A and B are shown apart, each in its own frame.
Chain A
Amino acid sequence: MSGFFVQNVWMIPCLPLAGALIAAVGARRLRESSHVPVVAGIVLAFLVSLGALFSANPEATTVVARWLSISNLEVPIEFRVDGLTTMMLSMVTFVSSLVAIFAAGYMAGDPGYPRFFALIGLFVFSMTGLVLSNNYMLTYVFWEGVGVCSYLLIGYWHTRPAAAAAAMKAFLVNRIGDFGFAIAIFWLWAVVPGHDLSYGNILSESTLGALPEAARVGIPLLLFWAATAKSAQIPLYVWLPDAMEGPTPVSALIHAATMVTAGVYLIARSMPLIALAPGVQVLIAVTGCATALLSASIALTQNDLKRVMAYSTVSQLGYMFMALGAGVSDVAQLAVVAAMFHLFTHAFFKALLFLASGSVMHAMGDVIDMRRFGGLRHRLPFTHLTFAVGGLALAGIFPLAGFFSKDEILLALKSASHSAAGLGWGWVYALIYWVALLTAFMTAFYTARAYFMTFWGPEKLPSPDDPEAPRPEPGPGHGHGDALPHGAGQDENHGHDHGHDHVGQKSPPIMTFPLLILAGCAILAGILFGPTHLFEHHLHATLGFELLGHGEHGFDLATALISTIAGLLGIGLAYRFYASESPVPGQLATRFRPLYEASLNKFSVDEVYDWVVVKTTKALAVVCEFLDIYLVDQLVIGIAKLPRKLGKDLLAGYQNGLIQFYAAVSALGVAVLLFILLLF
Chain B
Amino acid sequence: MIDVFTLDLLRNYLLAGAALFILGMLGFLSRRNLIVMFLSAEMMLQGTALTLVAFGRYHGNLTGQVFTIVILTVAACEASIALALIVILYNQRSSLDVTLWQDIREEGVPATPQMQEEAEAEPIEPVPGPESYPILTPAGIEPAHPVQPWLERRK
Contacts and interface: CB of A to CB of B under 8 A. Distances in A.
Counting contact residues on chain B (CB < 8 A from A), the size range is 10 to 19
Nearest to B104: A657
A652 B103 contact: no
A655 B106 CA distance: 5
Interface stretch (A162-170, A606-614, A660-668): A660-668
A657 B102 contact: yes
Contact of B25 (A648, A655, A656, A667): A667
A659 interface: yes
Contacts, number: 44
A163 to B, nearest CB: 59
Nearest to A659: B98
B99 A658 contact: yes
B66 interface: no
Nearest to B98: A660
A648 B111 CA distance: 16
Interface string B95-109: 000110111111111
B70 interface: no
B28 interface: yes
Contacts of A652: 106-109
A653 interface: yes
A655 B105 contact: yes
B28 A660 contact: yes
B101 to A, nearest CB: 8
A182 to B, nearest CB: 59
Contacts of B30: 660
A140 B108 CA distance: 65
Given A652-B109, A653-B109, A660 B29 contact: yes
A663 B26 CA distance: 11
Contact of A658 (B25, B28, B98): B98
The secondary structure that dominates the A interface is helix
B112 interface: yes
Contacts of A657: 101-106, 109, 111-112
Contacts of A648: 108
B37 to A, nearest CB: 8
Contacts of A655: 104-106, 109
Contacts of A660: 28-30, 32, 37, 98
Interface in A624-654: 648, 652-653
Contacts of A659: 98, 101
Interface string B76-112: 0000000000000000000000110111111111011
B29 A667 contact: yes
A667 to B, nearest CB: 6
Nearest to A656: B105
A664 B102 CA distance: 15
A652 to B, nearest CB: 4
Which 4 interchain pairs have the tightest Cβ spacing?
Answer: A657-B105, A657-B102, A655-B106, A652-B106
Interface of B: 25, 28-30, 32, 37, 98-99, 101-109, 111-112
22 contacts: A648-B108, A652-B106, A652-B107, A652-B108, A653-B106, A653-B109, A655-B105, A656-B102, A657-B101, A657-B105, A657-B106, A657-B109, A657-B111, A658-B99, A659-B101, A660-B28, A660-B30, A660-B32, A660-B37, A660-B98, A667-B25, A667-B29
